[in-house]
């Protein structure tokens, strides 16, 4: 069972079953790029700050509802755009989740920058029709809150496409079993020609959609893609941010 698939089903599955699946799927080692297993870096609690405040948790219905995934603010002409994984917002089993809300900088139940209703979801038709893992990325627009746009409130990360692999990145996300986000730094690696990987333990249920940020703040991936983000908590995946993502971004902002 995939770590990220559980993120969107948490609202309907019994707690005991979720605990059993979490241990089965997230505790075993996963071979690294060289084919060997071994210790991985471990994600640590993320420190609050301007960059982290652009990252937040997605909830179903309200912040008192089920926590679903992670998303982040991406720079856009209308200052109202998020990026996450497509499987966080639409599945073949449940359809599209039309009542999501986003809480940037969420910590221990607090929402320091408000709660922003998602108003539209853009995914590639190849995801919506067949859950093609090559298109596991989504852009979400959010409504204004008290007359303010989200990018004007917390800032945004520029989209980075076509930058290749081997990039130093930090990955910050919200495990559902923690009140605060975790973060880890490392280099991206190739997982075939169109998918990338990131090695660090601690990315469990809820971290799908976590942005991969370069040293200059560009978002070059989100946890998703191959295995809907990974079968273990130690190795995470993203589709390569290339023309596929550029085209979807243009559709979302057009």
pLDDT (tens digit, 9 = 90+) per residue, 42-87? 999 999 898 899 999 999 999 999 999 999 999 999 999 999 999 9
CA angle 1, 205, 213 (to 5 degrees): 115
**Assigned CATH for 3-47+158-241:** 2.40.10.10
What is the pLDDT confidence band of residue 38, given thresholds at 50, 70 and 90? low
Q: What is the fold of 53-156+247-253?
A: Thrombin, subunit H (2.40.10)
169 pLDDT above the threshold of 60: yes
Domain residue limits, the chain:
3-47+158-241, 53-156+247-253
List the structure tokens of 126: 């190849």
Query: From the CA atom positions of the chain, what is the Rg in Å?
Result: 16
The model's pTM is 0.87
Mean pLDDT, the chain, rounded, equals 88
Give me the mean pLDDT over the 162-171 stretch. Answer: 97
Give me the mean pLDDT over the 154-170 stretch. Answer: 98
Phi, psi of 55 (to 5 degrees): -105, 140
pLDDT (tens digit, 9 = 90+) per residue, 205-229? 999 999 999 999 999 999 999 999 9
Same topology between domain 3-47+158-241 and domain 53-156+247-253: yes
What pLDDT is recorded for position 175? 97
Query: What is the rounded end-to-end Cα distance, in angstroms, of the chain?
Result: 36
What pLDDT is recorded for position 8? 44
Per residue, what are the HEC states of the chain?
A: CCHHHHHHHCCCCCHHHHHHHHHHHHCCCCCCCCCCCCCCCECEECCCCCCHHHEEEEEECCCCCCEEEEEEEECCCCCCEEEECHHHCEECCCEECCCEEEEECCECCECCCCCEEEEEEEECHHHHHHCCHHHCCEEEEECCECCECHHHHHCCECECCCCCCCCEEEEEECCCCCCCCEEEEEECEECCCCEEEEECECCCCCCCCCEEEECCCCEEEECCCHHHHCCCCCEEEEECCCHHHHHHHHHHHC
């Amino acid at each position: 069972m995939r770590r990220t698939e559980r993120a969107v089903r948490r609202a309907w599955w019994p707690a005991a079953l979720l605990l059993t699946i979490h241990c089965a799927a997230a505790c075993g080692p996963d071979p690294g790029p060289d084919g060997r297993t071994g210790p991985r870096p471990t994600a640590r609690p993320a420190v609050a700050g301007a960059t982290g405040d652009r990252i937040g948790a997605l909830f179903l219905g309200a912040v008192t509802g089920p926590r679903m995934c992670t998303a982040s603010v991406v720079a856009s002409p209308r200052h109202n755009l998020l990026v996450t994984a497509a499987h966080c917002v639409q599945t073949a089993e449940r359809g599209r989740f039309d009542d999501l809300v986003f809480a940037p900088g969420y910590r221990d139940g607090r929402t320091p920058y408000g709660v922003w209703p998602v108003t539209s979801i853009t995914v590639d038709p190849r995801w919506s029709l067949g859950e093609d893992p090559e298109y596991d990325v989504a852009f979400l627009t959010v409504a204004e809150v008290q007359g303010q746009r989200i990018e004007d409130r917390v800032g945004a990360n520029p989209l980075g496409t076509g930058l290749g692999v081997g990039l130093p990145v930090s990955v910050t996300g919200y495990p559902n079993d923690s009140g605060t986000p975790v973060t880890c730094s490392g280099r991206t690696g190739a997982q075939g020609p169109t998918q990338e990987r990131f090695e660090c333990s601690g990315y469990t249920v809820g971290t799908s959609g976590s942005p991969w940020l370069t040293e200059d703040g560009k978002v070059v991936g989100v946890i998703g893609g191959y295995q809907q983000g990974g079968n273990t908590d130690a190795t995470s995946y993203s589709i390569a941010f290339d023309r596929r993502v550029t085209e979807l971004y243009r559709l979302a902002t057009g």
